[in-house]
Chains A and B, each alone.
Chain A
Amino acid sequence: MRLGRAYGAGPLHLLSHVAALALAAYAFTRIFAGGQPWNVVLWFVGAVVLHDLVAFPLYTGLNRLALGRRMRSVNHVRVPALLSGLSFIVFFPLILGLGDGRYEASTTLSQDVYLGRWLLLCGAMFAVSGLLYAVRARRLRPS
């Protein structure tokens, strides 16, 4: 009982954590056995740092900037902006033509189309959003 109080939770809590962490540690030993352990660690740690300490402050900061203008239209700007950013995050290797020509050598196709397609997609999303705002604004205007 005293042990439980010192630990801060029940025995099942401890057992489930030890089991999960042991499985994860075992899987890590298998990854490390494949070589380049420090590069693996760099990617696991880097991913969290990039998300929690770079991406999160960046997008919340941008959001605050948008809200600072106190526009009624804020969602008509930040929703297409968010969707554009999201599609970029998922497809940026193709959009920016990264990968040292591997895509073209493998598939016979050029990566060049993706930047244009992504820009058109962003343009279309902002245009639709703007159009919706115009329709709304007209409806709200006293006649």
Chain B
Amino acid sequence: MATLFGSGIKRREDPRLITGTATYTDDVKLPGLLYAAVLRSSYAHAKLTSVDVARAKRAPGVVAVYTGADLKDKLNTVPCAWNVPNCDLKVPPHPVLATDKVRYAGDGIAMVVAESRAAARDALDLIDVDYAALDAVVDPEKATQKGAPQLHADVPGNVAFTWKVAGGDAAKAFAEAAVTVEQRILHNRLLPTAMEARAACASYNPGTGQLTCWVTSQNPHIHRFLLSVMTKLPEHRIRVIAPEVGGGFGSKIPGYPDEALVCFASMDLGRPVKWTEDRSENYKVTIHGRDHVEYVSLCGTKDGKITGLRTRVYAGLGGYASTAAPGIPTILHGLILSGPYTIPNIDVTVYGVYTTTTPVDAYRGAGRPEATFLLERMIDLYARKIGIDPVEVRRKNLIPKDKFPYTVATGLTYDSGNYQGALDKALSLVDYKKFRAEQAKARKEGRYLGIGVTTYCEVCGLGPSQVAGAVGFGGGLYDSALVRVYPTGVVRAYIGAKPHGQGEETTFAQIVADEFGVPVENVEVVAGDTETTPQGWGTYGSRTTAVCGSAVKVAAQRVKEKAKKIAAHLLEASEADLEWKDGKFSVKGSPDKGKSFAELALMANVAWNMPTGVEPGLEATAFFDPSNFVYPFGTHACTVEVDPETGETKILRYVAVDDCGPQINPMIVQGQVHGGVIQGIGEALQEMAVYDEDGQLLTGTMMDYAIPRASQMPNVETAHTVTPSPVNPLGVKGVGETGTIASVPTLVNAVCDALAPLGVTHIDKPLTPARVWAAIQQAKGGKR
């Protein structure tokens, strides 16, 4: 039988997703359902002098109105769950509704619960709030300076933490270096923009004391824990269901006040309550991504050997520390700063800074795009300064393929890699030499062509639970699967992760079907309901396949071992004499007499004739905890032409060579790369959340926040190399985030390369036509 592993079968999720038959949280309808709406602060920073809800309470259809004062003793504050050690982390209280002060435009002030969504919304206009406005500060660097407005009483200078990592001796390396390049790098604040905004629907049963909460979650078990903390209800009385989730990109990892509020309202009123975000609210209150100001220096020899990297980072956290926020600019950014290179000396300081803006947390890539961007940008600046081809500089510094496992200066140990192989393949696909010749010719004609080549590696497949504990992550990072075989031989795998668009319903079925020799249609994958799935930690950090997929594999193997025992018993043979072939256990040498998986499923479940000491039933649960992270890698190359008259960038070709180990479903891998690259093109060329000085979000709707559109997108050419990881039984590495990690520097370096003849060295992303044109004008004016 041909294996399904490696087969690009169609995603089984798609028919329901594209025909409108999927069930999302907002589709949940319950008898007696009430609707909630939250009044959001219109000021970025203000004292609340009074909140008068009397008129709203009297409005038609309104059942209840709650303020921060009403809930102060009834709900706990919103927890931060990544308490990064050794950085003096300060997490001030984040009340579910503001009590005395608001800290970003969008901070919740009151919640209305009404018989209809419209009545709830109408009543918001009847709440009278008196604000005493305070100064806002939106820039994380400025927020640390003397005289900046203070957000929290116990956080002087708004500095939530100061985190350092160092390896080697950077001071010495810089002191002795022949060449140093320096650059201030800005990571534009991004709005995750999942197609489905957030929603939560809570139903409390006063009779049983059980609470069920449907919520847009990437990690229902984490949400169960966070809701238990916020509502004070014991964890075993809370059931969290994440039904269909329409994308997350990190924005549906955190615990938010909103889901705790609907849970409380349902417990208080004894009726189910639903809240659904609209897009403007989503942009205002759902977490944002990136928002770093970085001061970066790189040093090396005149012939292209990089000897040191130093960066000082101001990472904006927004008004409060969101669930995973402290870990993003530190663990997931600082530790991976040497990328795929043998940089011996590293020195990183990260300041996490509160600003009067929407909280910032994980966004597709989370820390690693920032790290990869600054490193790749600096290498191009360095290469230009020493006059050596940037690809040659990269090649000179890549970790050799025979050095794995390789420990970098920051202490991470990379699992496996062949960086040169991916680089060679990408250069050949993009025909690097030929392009350089075309570029030279075009320059003579006054045309500006450029190329960017990024060699990257990243850390994902989060991760060993012991490491999670050591770095302060408030949970485990193993994952789980319960594989259950029904009497008729069909199978369900209940998993601890929560895919929300990535395709594991298909790929995990491929794993199980291969193991059991059954048609893939006979296997279903179930996720998202804490009542039916074993404890797991969710889908993020490109971990689902590497960690949860491995749990599926191990659980299926356990089931098969039991099936083998039963087969041996029924065939009156010893297990050692059995072989598994064509979906059957049979005695070696007599292949005609065998027991198919379906027969064994039936016999196990009816238990008429079980071997001694073997329990009835055919199912197994596995908890898989990897021994290390996985480190996917690759090379992306992009060619562009810039119109110097208008600053417009046209992408000519985009080539992505990624290595995520063996691919379960190459079509799904390709889809992940396409999606990631295009999201990265958004970050590189056009997406940026903009606040004014008063902390008002100016890109508050999709009329002003420019996510990429299909009509603007290039053909993304994908290719792969295959280097298995030794840290999991599938050999797989994550590929969900490589696109956003590799594409951003590739694009920006291509544009800067195109404009090199004009003297342009760096442009802050996003490289909108306006910014590119301004940079050209500035360069023409003689300034560099």
Report if A and B associate in a common complex: no
